[in-house]
Chain A
Amino acid sequence: MDLSLSTETVGDRTVVRVGGEIDVYTAPKLREQLVELVNDGSYHLVVDMEGVDFLDSTGLGVLVGGLKRVRAHEGSLRLVCNQERILKIFRITGLTKVFPIHTSVDEAVSATD
């Protein structure tokens, strides 16, 4: 399965909906998308992971890279994820302390801190 990406602007946030598998082969596409958004001036990103079937450390690396980029512009990167098997990967790498993880896009879009 490949990676699917779509973006939508909600207020001052840009929601990136990700579907499929994020691994060493597909992660560069996600990286390109995040870099492009930041280069275009979108500094408050919400990455919706509800459609993600598989995530590995390469994907985590891309998300951390995205976070570094938006923070350089005083922006934010929030995640939406309810899937236990994906959340587990964030937990064992300690990244739950790094990313704000929300249960819905609405919650992430309206979050302020």
Chain B
Amino acid sequence: MATVELLFSALPEHVRTARLVAAAVARRAGVDEAVLDEVRLAVGEACTRAVGLHRMNEVDQPVLVRLTEEEKKFSIEVGDGIPAGPGASGGPAGAGADEADDESRMGLAVISGLVDDVEVTTGPDGGTIRMTWPVSPAAVHQV
């Protein structure tokens, strides 16, 4: 079971909230302070991508972020809610599509550049980006 689960409406203004929550939970889990900026950025990128896919595909359900603290690692899963299928991964159409496409590609580039342990899966409930960071045991639950 996830330590903290966050559900938010697929709106750009809520991505910041997801970043703040993820960074707070990661800090408490013992993720190194020096890495927290990366956690914040990576989860923001994954949520931005999920919000974009939800809106593009007119998915009403919220974006799901699962933050899971384990013995020696901390992981974040962000679901995009878009089941694999034709058109699901295509870029947005219409005005500004080039820029939106560039941004989406850069988002994934940032995640893969930042996080060593990234897994992207697709399933009947949609795609998921899972990112994992090591936890330094000494730092766990410091007050």
Listed in ascending order, the chain A residues whose CB lies under 8 Å from chain B are: 21, 23-25, 54, 56-58, 60-62, 64-65, 85, 89, 92-93
Q: Which 9 interchain pairs have the tightest Cβ spacing?
A: A92-B113, A61-B103, A57-B106, A25-B12, A57-B107, A24-B12, A24-B48, A25-B13, A57-B110
Contact (Cβ within 8 A) A57 B48: yes
Which chain B positions have C-beta within 8 A of A58?
48, 103, 107
22 contacts between A and B (CB under 8 A): A23-B16, A23-B44, A24-B48, A24-B52, A25-B12, A25-B13, A25-B15, A54-B41, A54-B44, A56-B41, A56-B48, A57-B45, A57-B106, A57-B109, A57-B110, A58-B48, A60-B103, A61-B100, A61-B102, A62-B99, A65-B99, A92-B110
Contact (Cβ within 8 A) B48 A64: no
Chain B stretch 1-29: residues in CB contact (< 8 A) with chain A: 12-13, 15-16, 19
Contact (Cβ within 8 A) B106 A60: yes
Q: Is B76 an interface residue (CB 8 A)?
A: no
Listed in ascending order, the chain B residues whose CB lies under 8 Å from chain A are: 12-13, 15-16, 19, 37, 40-41, 44-45, 48, 51-52, 99-100, 102-103, 106-107, 109-110, 113-114
**How far apart sit A58 and B114, CA to CA, in the bound complex (Å)?**
16
Which chain A positions have C-beta within 8 A of B109?
57, 92-93
Which chain B positions have C-beta within 8 A of A61?
99-100, 102-103, 106
**How far apart sit A85 and B44, CA to CA, in the bound complex (Å)?**
15
Contact (Cβ within 8 A) A56 B113: no
| In the complex with contacts A56-B44, A56-B45, A57-B45, A21-B110 CB distance below 8 A | no
Contact (Cβ within 8 A) B12 A92: no
Which chain B positions have C-beta within 8 A of A54?
19, 40-41, 44
Which chain B positions have C-beta within 8 A of A65?
99, 102
